[in-house]
Chain A
Amino acid sequence: MKRGSTTKNASGSQGRLSGNASSSASKKIPPAMIASGLNGKKQGLRAEKPSALTRSSEVNRMVHAPTKAVSPLVKNGLAKKFRLDPELLVKIHDHMVKTRALEERMIKMFKQSDGYFWLGGPGEEAFAIPLGMNGKVGQGVQYDFWHLHYRSSGILMPMGLDPMGCIRQMKNVVADPHSGGRNFANHLSIREWNVVPITSTIETQYLTSIGSAIAQKQEAKDSLTVVTGGDAGTAEGDFASALVWSSRPGNELPLFMIVTNNSWGISTASCTQHGDKIIADRGKAFGIKTRQINGLDVEESWFAIREAMDYVRTERKPFLMEATVSRMYGHSSATGANLVAGEADPIATFEEQLAAADIMTPKEMSDLREEYNAQMMEMAKRVKEEPMPDPSTIYDYTYYGQKGRYW
C-alpha cells in the first residue's frame, strides 16, 4: 500500500489511508509523506481542515475490520497479538514517529538558540495519538472541544497539525500560526478545530473545559469536551472544580477529563506530595466513571479512549481517565531537555511489537524516522530565515479585531 498517496496534508490524517479494510498490511515503507514546508504547493501556516466525519468513519472501518492474521514472526508467545487492524497500527506509528521527530527537532532548536524555551510531550505518544485520532474535529459546538496542556502535539498531529507551525512557534517568528511569536513552544491554538489556546497556567484548562461542556450539553448531540493535564496539577483546586461542576445532579457534563501521570511535577516526585495512589479514584466520590490505564501502550490506550468517549458522547456524562505516561526529556528545557535514563519510550516498545508481529520491519521504521527527522530539520533551517514580529504590533489584538495602540 502507499500510505499517504491520497492524503491532503502532511500528516496524512485527512485522506483515505488507502487499500481496503481487509487488505494486507504493508511490509514496505512507502516514500514518506511530503511535509509542509518542503513542498512549495503544500506550504502554509495551517494544515487544511480535516473532515471529522470522513476520518471518524474511516477509523471505525479499520477498528472493526477483521484483523490480519498474525505474522509467523510472532514467536515464543512474546509478541503482542494486536486487536487493531495493521493499517491503523501503521498509521498510529507514523503519527507517533512524526510527533517525536518534531519534538526532538524543537529540543535541538532550543539547544542551538533557535528558541527560548521548549516543553512538550515525548513519552506520551502512545496515548496522545489514539486520543487525537478519535476526536470529532471541526469548529463549533457540534465538534469536540480541546482544553489541552502543553504536552499535546501528539494529540493534534493526527488531526493534521502542521509541524512547520510548531517550529515557527518555537522560533517565535511572525508566521507562528498559534500565537504570532507571542507564546512558548507547544502553546498551540487552532480555532478551526476547537483547540483553545494552551496556556502555562497549570490546571486552569479544567475550569474553562466546564464551559464548553455546558454549551455542548445544551446544544449538541454527541460532541464532547476533552481536557488534559498532568498529575502534579491535580493538586490545584481547579481539578476539583471540574469534578464538582461536571457531576452536578441532573446537569452532568459531556466532559472527558484526562490526567497524564508521569509521576513528576517539574523536579518534585509526585509520591512525595500526593497521598492518593490512583488519581482517577478521586472521581468516584462524585459518581464519575473512572479508569486508570497504561498510557504507554497503544492498544490499551486506543480501546480505553474509545470506550470512554463513547460513554461521554452517548450518556452525556463525565469520565475521568488517568493514563500512565513517561517524560522522556524531563520537564522542559529549564531542566535541560536531555534524555532521561529510565524513562520508558513508548515508540521503542511499539516498534518492537510491530516488528514482532511482522507489521513493519525495523528498516522500514528506521527509514521513516530518518525521513521525518530530515523533514523537521529542513523546516528548522527554513524558519531561521523568517522574519520576527514587528515591534509596532505589540498592542494588536488586545481587543478582538483591534490593531495599533488603543488608548
Chain B
Amino acid sequence: MATMVQALRMALHYGEENLGVKNIFGEDVGPPLGGVFTATQGLKTSWNSPLDERGIIGAAMGLAFAGSRCVAEIQFADYIYNTIDLLKLAGNQCWASNGMWNLPMTVMTPVGSGIRGSIYHSHSFDATMTHIPGWKIVMPSTPADAYGLLLSCLRDENPTMFLIPKALTRVRGEELLPGEPEEKELKAMIDAPLGDRSQWKARWPEIGDYSIPLSQAKICRSGNHVTVVSYGRTMPLCNQAADALAQEGISVETIDLRTLWPYDWSAIVSSIKKTGRVLYVNEDTEVTNFGEHLIRRTVDELFYELEARPRLLAGAFTPGVGLADPLEMASVPQLGSITEAIRELAHERA
C-alpha cells in the first residue's frame, strides 16, 4: 500500500501527464530534495524557488492568471501566515471581477502536530483557511483520498488549498489505488535513493484516473448513537475510538469531511438526524475553530433534532504546540481524549 506522500507524488505525476500541470514549485520542492516530506520527488516540472512564501503564492497566482496550471508548496503551514492577504486576494479575484477571472491553482502545505515539530512546525491551518472565501479546501486522512482529492483539485477552476496532515504522510493506506504495484516495487520505482540522486529518475506506475469529487464526505463507520465529524490527523483516531466504543455497545458514526469548503453539509445533516448527537473533532485551536461554525449551523438548522448539546474537541488555545512529548500530547486531541468525549456524549441524558 502506498503512503500518503507516495500517493501525493503519483497524483502530481498524473497531473503533469494528464491535467496540464506545468509548474510544481516551492522551497526545496525540486531536485535534489523533492520536498522536505518528499512529496515532489522525481517530478519533471518541479523546481526550487527562492525562500519567499509571498513570492511563491504570488507566482502561483500569476501563473494561474496566465492560464498555466500550477502547484505551489509552502513547506510548513506555519510559514504560510505571512501570505494571508495573498490568499485572501486569490480567493476574491473571481468575485471582485464579477466572475471575469478564475485562478486554477493548487497550494499544498503540511499541517498539524505529530512529528514533535515544536512551535513552528506543528501549526494547524484549517481554522484560518476556512475563514477565507473563494478557495476550495481539502484535507485527506488516507493515501487513496489524498490521491483522489488532489486530482480533483488539479481539475478545479478555482484556487484549491490542499492541507497535508503531516503526521499521516508516512502512514500506509488500507486500499490500493487502481494500478498500484505492491509496496516494495512501488518504493523502488518512485522513492529517490539516499545519497547521490543526480542520475535517478522515477519510474511511474500507471495509476488510473481515480478522482474523489470535492465536497463529498465519507462515512467511515456507520452508527446510530453518536455522529463524529473530523478530518486529517484526528480522523483515524476517531475511527479507532469508534471501534473501541463498539465493544461497549456505543454505535458511532464517523464522517470524514475531506473537503472543508464547500463542505458536505447534507452528509452531516443525515447523520445527525439519525443519531441526535454530534461531536466535531479537529486539532486546530479551539477558539474561532471551524468546528465552532459547524456547531453554530447545527444549532441553527438542527436544534430540534438534537438529543444532547453538540460538542467540539479541538486543540488547546495556546500560542503554540510545545516540543516536549507531554506538552504536545496535551495540546491536541489524542485517542484517549477523543474516546472519552464520544463516550461522554453518548451517555449524556437526552
A interface with B by C-beta (< 8 Å) = 140-141, 145, 147, 176, 178-183, 187, 189, 191, 194, 196-197, 199, 201, 204, 206-216, 218-219, 225, 237-238, 241, 244-245, 248, 396-401, 406-407
Contacts and interface: CB of A to CB of B under 8 A. Distances in A.
18 contacts: A140-B67, A141-B66, A141-B67, A189-B97, A196-B101, A208-B61, A209-B58, A210-B55, A211-B58, A211-B68, A213-B62, A244-B55, A245-B50, A245-B52, A245-B55, A397-B94, A398-B95, A401-B157
B59 A211 contact: yes
B96 interface: yes
Interface of B: 22-23, 49-50, 52, 54-55, 57-68, 70, 85-86, 89, 93-102, 133-134, 136, 157-158, 261-263, 265
B66 A212 contact: yes
Contacts of A245: 49-50, 52, 55, 59
Consensus secondary structure, chain B interface: mixed
B66 A207 contact: no
B101 A207 contact: no
B58 A241 contact: yes
Contacts of B86: 204, 207
Contacts of B57: 207
Give the residue among A196, A218, A219 with the most B Cβ atoms within 10 A. A196
A95 B343 CA distance: 74
Given A210-B58, A215-B63, 6 more contacts: A191-B100, A204-B86, A211-B59, A212-B62, A398-B133, A407-B261
B96 A238 contact: no
Nearest to A176: B98
Nearest to B49: A245
Nearest to B93: A197
A406 B259 CA distance: 14
A241 B55 contact: yes
B129 to A, nearest CB: 15
B262 A210 contact: no
B262 A407 contact: yes
Given A238-B54, A244-B55, A245-B52, A182 B63 contact: no
A179 B96 contact: yes
Nearest to B82: A237
Contact of B67 (A183, A215, A244): A215
B61 A211 contact: yes
A196 B65 contact: yes
A204 B261 CA distance: 25
A216 B63 CA distance: 9
A209 B55 CA distance: 10
B225 to A, nearest CB: 28
A191 B102 CA distance: 10
A209 B58 CA distance: 8
Contact of A147 (B62, B63, B157): B62
B138 to A, nearest CB: 14
3 closest A-B pairs by CB: A211-B62, A207-B58, A180-B98
Given A207-B58, A407-B263, A216 B95 contact: no
Contacts of B22: 215, 218
Given A141-B67, A218-B68, A197 B59 contact: no
Contacts, number: 150
B98 A399 contact: no
A187 B89 CA distance: 13
A401 B262 contact: no
A401 B59 contact: no
B50 A400 contact: no
Contacts of A204: 58, 85-86, 89
Contact of B50 (A141, A244, A398, A401): A244
Contacts of A248: 50
Contact of B157 (A141, A145, A238, A400): A400
A214 B47 CA distance: 12
B97 A212 contact: no
Contacts of B89: 199, 201, 204
Contacts of B23: 214, 218
A100 B133 CA distance: 37
A60 B125 CA distance: 53
Contacts of A145: 62, 65-66
A400 B265 CA distance: 21
A238 B56 CA distance: 11
Contacts of A238: 54, 58
A204 B67 CA distance: 19
A157 B60 CA distance: 29
Contacts of B102: 400-401
Nearest to A393: B98
A398 B98 CA distance: 9
B339 to A, nearest CB: 31
B62 A189 contact: no
A320 B93 CA distance: 27
B61 A399 contact: no
A396 B59 CA distance: 26
B102 to A, nearest CB: 4
A163 to B, nearest CB: 19
Contacts of A141: 66-68
Query: By CB atoms of chain A within 10 A, which of B22, B62, B96 has the most?
Result: B62
B54 A400 contact: no
A399 B158 contact: yes
Contact of A207 (B62, B98, B136, B265): B62
Nearest to B52: A241
A169 B129 CA distance: 30
Nearest to B23: A214
Given A204-B85, A208-B61, A179 B67 contact: no
Contacts of B52: 241, 244-245
A234 to B, nearest CB: 15
B63 A396 contact: no
A401 B98 contact: no
A354 B51 CA distance: 51
Contacts of A187: 96
A394 to B, nearest CB: 9
A178 B99 contact: no
B297 to A, nearest CB: 9
B67 A189 contact: no
A187 B59 CA distance: 21
A313 to B, nearest CB: 16
Given A237-B54, A238-B54, A398 B134 contact: yes
A372 B203 CA distance: 66
Contact of B63 (A140, A179, A191, A212): A212
Nearest to A397: B99
A207 B54 contact: yes
B96 A189 contact: yes
